[in-house]
Amino acid sequence: MLGDYLTFNNEQFPNPIDSKMGSKTIENVSQSESGGDLVVIVRPSKKSWNFKFNLTKGTRDILESLCEDESTSMVYMNKTYTVRVRDFQEELVEGSEWLSSVDGLYVCSVKVTEF
């Protein structure tokens, strides 16, 4: 998985250090008078991802601001999705405050859900 394969709103992000993808079928289930299930599939295969990144402060700020947007365009492995980015978490990497070339290094995670 090397190369430029993840962007949010045309902003290039580094390869994630951890990436998990899940898929869920959204359906409405009710019961008939005879007790059988009546299933209406609303949306097959709705995808969600959990990404974890090593980021500098500038990129961390961009990722955090995406969580405030109603929707975001994501290109992931050459496929474009309309998603929402939520549940931003960050952790300052120990000792990174001593680096003179950057203003801290962060391990950041987000949850991304397809519309």
Compute the Cα dihedral for 12, 72, 54, 91 and give only its sign. Answer: positive
Q: Is the pLDDT of residue 1 over 60?
A: no
Mean pLDDT of 34-43: 86
Give the three-state DSSP class for 16.
Answer: coil
Distance, CA of 41 to chain centre: 24
* Residue for token pair 């079928």: 25
- The candidate with the shortest Cα–Cα distance to 19, out of 48, 52, 68, is 52
Share of the chain above pLDDT 90, in %: 57
- What's the pLDDT score for residue 4? 61
Give pLDDT tens digits for 77-114.
Answer: 889 999 999 999 999 888 777 776 677 789 999 999 99
